[in-house]
Amino acid sequence: MRIHHTSRRWRAAAAASLVAAIAVAGSGCGSRSNDGGGSGSGDKPFIALSNGFIGNGWRQTMIAKFEAAATQAQSDGLLGKFKVVNAPGENSATEQVAQIKSLLLQKPDALLIDPASPTALKPVIQQACDAGIKVVVFDSAIDAPCAHVLLNSFKDWATAAAEPLVKGIGGKGTVIVSRGVVGSQPEEEMYKTTQEILAANPEVKVAATVNGMCDGAKAQKAVLGVLSSVPKVDGVIGCGDGYGVAQAFSTAGKPIPALTFETNGRALNYWNDSKLDNGSVAVMSDPGQSVAALWEAIDLLDGKDIPKQLTFPIVLVEQKDLGAWASALKPDEYAAWPWTQDLFRKQVEAVKTGGAPVQPPIPSAAN
């Protein structure tokens, strides 16, 4: 009796396990049909991109721009195959290390990395270089001697955020400083730059310093918290969180001061529609860096000589360009420079010779 019983249970268990296994295999295979990469051909390069975090609009734009440019390069015959892998979760370096390791198994010719951590990827990058893969790290500095690095200058970012604003309020008045992700390397550099600029303008007083985390919603809460205790604010120096800060000021019923907006369509259109003309700017790093990194990888695979460290221009939207940018962007799309192979090579020349950085054209709405 009991034997019969057990064997029935066993069969049921086996059936259930099979269902689970099929579910697992099926969920994988189902997605396989969405092969965006196309077929790889013999001598054309296979380029993979590993991205440490996909949870914000900037990263979404960065990936979208890369996929568009890579598809174009593929049909132009410059690229055999490409692949984009995003680490799930909250900017997890461990997940990204695991993903890069499995990418190594697929033997790409070049690997582009937007790292989740400036240090944790060092060993795996070394492993990739040892396997003969060209590695281009973008958007963040990394201490890996074998990798090429392409980034935006955070010093430029902080300067472009604070300087026009200080000038816009006439070099005197009261400001609030909204800091970014405190504890990260870029933020430290940016905060230092901001402090230098403020030290050079002694008539600008800092009424409060808050942690906005470069996030409109968080900055809105943080600024709202201090608004009642500060008298009159002429400007808020932040890192791409102006839209949220503007909401905080209108909630508190105070006039909107000079702000540093994010470079997405929503913030730029708000700025454009509200007719603010008080020294506000919109500045952020360029999500088009992924496209520039693609061109760098292609040129590196061609054996071209490119410096290990490339600094590319940030995206700064001033009052005069506001209309053009605002009409070209969807609400959640961030302003990105449209790097082409030609523009990329010009910028590399500019870096080599120390000349003025290339100023790519502002994309039109048709793009």
Partner 1 sequence: MTNLVVAAVPPRAQLRRLAPAMVSTIAMFAMVAVCASLQSDVLTVTGLTLILSATVPLVIAAQAQMMLMSVGDIDLGIGNFVGLVTVITATKLVSSPGTGMLFLVGLVAAYALLGALIHLRRVPSLIATLGASFVWLGLGLFVLPTPGGSTPTWLATFGSWAPAGFPAPLLPILVASALVWLLASRGSVGVRVRAFGSNPVALQRAGLSPLAARVVAYGVAGALGVLAGLLLASQTGGGDVSSASSYTLITVAAVILGGGSFRGGNAVPWGVAIGGVTLGLVSVVLSLLDVPSNMQSAVQGAIVLAVLAGRVVVGKVLR
Applying CB under 8 A, which residues contact partner 1? Answer: 2, 5-6, 9-10, 12-13, 16-21, 23-25, 27-29, 31-32, 34-37, 51, 54, 60, 63, 67, 83-90, 92-95, 97-99, 101-106, 117-124, 183-185, 188
> For residues 179 and 236, which CB has a smaller minimum distance to partner 1 in the complex?
179
> How far is 180 from 215, CA to CA, in rounded Å?
8
Of 61 and 247, which CB lies nearer to partner 1 in the complex structure?
Answer: 61
Q: Which residues pair with 82 in a beta bridge?
A: 47
Q: How far is the CB of 246 from partner 1 (least distance, A)?
A: 29
Nearer to partner 1, 55 or 323 (CB): 55
Name the minimum Å distance from CB 95 to partner 1: 6
**How far apart, in whole angstroms, are the C-alpha atoms of residue 260 and residue 330?**
19
Q: How far is the CB of 12 from partner 1 (least distance, A)?
A: 4
CA distances from 50 to 95, 268, 288, 328 (A): 11, 29, 15, 28
Residues with Cβ within 8 Å of 210's Cβ and at least 6 positions away in sequence, in order, are: 176, 177, 178, 179, 219, 222, 223, 225, 226
Of 99 and 247, which CB lies nearer to partner 1 in the complex structure?
99
Nearest approach in angstroms of CB 349 to partner 1 is: 32
Task: Give the nearest distance from C-beta 102 to partner 1 in angstroms.
Answer: 4
Nearest distance, CB of residue 150 and partner 1, angstroms = 20
Residue 30 or 231 with smaller CB distance to partner 1: 30
Task: State the minimum distance, in angstroms, from the CB of residue 89 to partner 1.
Answer: 5
Find residue 136's DSSP bridge partners. Answer: 112, 148
Question: Least separation, in Å, of the C-beta of 115 and partner 1?
Answer: 10
Chain centroid to Cα 225, Å, comes to: 28
With a CB cutoff of 8 Å and minimum separation 6, the contacts of 53 are 59, 86, 87, 90, 91, 114, 116
Q: CB under 8 Å to 31, separation ≥6 — which residues?
A: none
Cβ proximity to partner 1: between 35 and 302 the closer is: 35
Q: What are the helix (H) ranges across the chain?
A: 2-32, 57-75, 93-105, 122-130, 154-168, 185-200, 216-227, 242-251, 265-273, 289-301, 322-328, 341-353
Q: How many CA atoms lie within 13 A of 150 on its CB side?
A: 27
Choose between 39 and 367: whose C-beta lies nearer to partner 1.
39
Whose CA is closest to 135, among 143, 119, 146, 151?
Answer: 146
Structure letter (DSSP) for residue 89: S
The set of residues, in sequence order, having a beta carbon less than 8 Å from that of 326 and lying 6+ positions away, is 265, 268, 269, 271, 272
Report the nearest approach of partner 1 to the CB of residue 10 (Å).
7
Q: Which is nearer to partner 1, 175 or 179 (CB)?
A: 179
CB 112 within 8 Å of CB 63: no
- Closer residue to partner 1 in complex, CB, 104/301: 104
